[in-house]
Each structure stands twice: as C-alpha cells, then as structure tokens.
Amino acid sequence: MSITDVRGLCRAAEGHVEAGDLTKALPCAKEAVAISKAVLGATHYGYAMALCTLGWILSTMQITGIDCQDPQPVFLEVEERGRDLLSDDFNHGVVALLQSATFWEERGDAEKAIRLYQELLDAHADNLGLGEGAEHPRYYQIKSKLDRLGIMA
C-alpha cells in the first residue's frame, strides 16, 4: 500500500459523495485513514489528507441528518497533524489547516476559524519571510477570509 492507494480510496469516497451515496463513501474514507496511518504513519501528509476526506464526509452526513460520528474530533486531529507538517511539509500542513478552518467557519464557530486563519498568516510570514509571506497568493486568500469574518489582518 502506498500514498497512491490512499489517494485512490479518498477519490473513491469523494466519488460516492458526488453520486449521493454517503453510506458507500464513509467506509472508503475510513479505510483510507486506517491504511495511511498504519502504512504511511501519522506524520505523513497522506494521513492528514485522508482525515480531511473523512471529516468532510462525516460533516455532510451530519448536515443531511444521517446518524454518524461527530466530525469535530476528526478536524481537531487534522489541525494537530497540519501543525506537525508545517515544519517539514509546509504546503500540505497549510492545506490541512485550511480545511479545518473552513470546517469551523462553515459550522459557525468563527472564533476557531479566525484563530486558525491567523495562525496560517503567521506561518506564511515565518516560513516564507515576512515580505515573501505577504506576497504569496495564498496569504491574500487567507487574509480575505479573515476580512470576511470581520477581522482586519
């Protein structure tokens, strides 16, 4: 098993979501999480990305009224993994943290979303240098999310 297999399972899960079959999506996502953790390890970006897929499927299930586990603990783990990735795999760490921030924003927890978006701005400044961080397109994307939430970054 490899990252390619994990990606394939995540894509299959997402395909089931697009087809409207969340009950088939969930086992694919859970398998992707289990395999990525066991084979790639919890510090590999594949694990964080598989957790994102699982979290969004659980969130969709919950929103549509399907009984399932709470996605919040999944996204808390996504945050933990994302922070771990920032030092060794900056881009994947950012993607994981952005996914979590978006989840909290969509759930109406602006405080958590704001905290994560601000953390991401700081990470860009630290990782890319203040000048370069502020020039990165993703920096402006994150800043606009904060502006939309009423925080002038």
Q: What is the pLDDT of residue 152?
A: 56
Is the model's pLDDT at 151 over the cut of 90?
no
pLDDT digits (tens, 9 = 90+) for 52-64: 999 999 999 999 9
* 47, 40 Cβ separation under 8 angstroms: yes
Contacts for 140 with CB less than 8 Å, ≥ 6 apart: none
pLDDT in tens, 9-45: 999 999 999 999 999 999 999 999 999 999 999 999 9
How far is Cα 79 from Cα 119, in angstroms, rounded to an integer?
11
Residue 153 has pLDDT above 60, yes or no: no
114-141, pLDDT tens digit by residue? 999 999 998 988 877 655 555 678 888 8
Give the domains, in start order, of the chain with CATH numbers.
3-148 (1.25.40.10)
Average pLDDT, the chain: 91
Statement: residue 50 has pLDDT above 70: yes
Q: How confident is the model at residue 100 (pLDDT cuts 50, 70, 90)?
A: very high
Average pLDDT estimate for 102-118: 94
The reported pLDDT for the residue numbered 10 is: 97
